[in-house]
Amino acid sequence: MSRKPAPPTYFVFDVESIGLYGEGFAVGFVVVDLEGNVQSVGFHGTDPANADGAPTDRSWVSEHVLPAVRHRQMTCENPSEVRSRFFDDMRKALRAGAQLWGDAVYPVESTFLRLTLEERLGGKLDAASSPVLRDVAPVALLLGIEDAPSRVPHDPVEDARASAATLLCAVSAIRAMGGG
């Protein structure tokens, strides 16, 4: 008697950084299954003053991001600790079979992931050690799906939830067309 494979799960994350090319200081994620059931939610952050970035970008962060995350606990001492804790959560989900997703992942999420892997894997990146980072944005664009609105824009947990909702709409549309 064969067992039916478990439905896919999706580890969807969002990063807040000092500008598009500055260092990430907060990351939020949600793990959802195909039906939209939330399996876990996480957040790791540090004071943005601890992250590298341009002064002009810092003022934007102060105006737009800090009000959105003021209710979150910034428990990490620095961005490296944010990345380390994220790596542990991501690795646990990926080992359990989750797929790794972000929304419009270049440059913020892709840079954050690269730095995370370089630090945790000792700079030895190769195809075997690097997870596949999938991007919700082009899939949704090709299917004509609008991004789900975040309840609190620039809160990485809420942005990750919105990205997961967009992803699930895309998966549903693909399945309705006879795919996936």
Q: What is the DSSP string of 105-119?
A: -TTHHHHHHHHHHHH
Q: How many helices (H) and strands (E) does the chain have?
A: 6, 5
User: In this predicted model, what pLDDT tens digit does every residue of 17-27 receive, in sequence order?
Assistant: 999 999 999 99
User: In this predicted model, what pLDDT tens digit does every residue of 108-167 receive, in sequence order?
Assistant: 999 999 999 999 988 776 766 789 999 999 999 999 999 888 888 999 999 999 999 999
Which strands form 24-33's sheet, in the order they lie side by side? 38-45, 24-33, 9-17, 99-102, 133-135
The first and second tokens of residue 125, run together, are 């990146």
Strand-pairing partners, residue 12, are 30, 101
Q: What are phi and psi of 166, to 5 degrees?
A: -65, -45
Angle ∠(148,165,168) on CA atoms, nearest 5: 125
Reported pTM: 0.93
Q: What one-letter code names the amino acid at 177? A: M
Structural domain boundaries in the chain: 9-176
Torsion of CA 35, 106, 83, 11, to 10 degrees: 10
User: In this predicted model, what pLDDT tens digit does every residue of 43-84 receive, in sequence order?
Assistant: 999 999 999 999 999 999 999 999 999 999 999 999 999 999
Band (pLDDT 50/70/90 cuts) for residue 1 is low
Return d(Cα 30, Cα 41) in angstroms, integer: 4
CATH superfamily of 9-176: Ribonuclease H-like superfamily/Ribonuclease H (3.30.420.10)
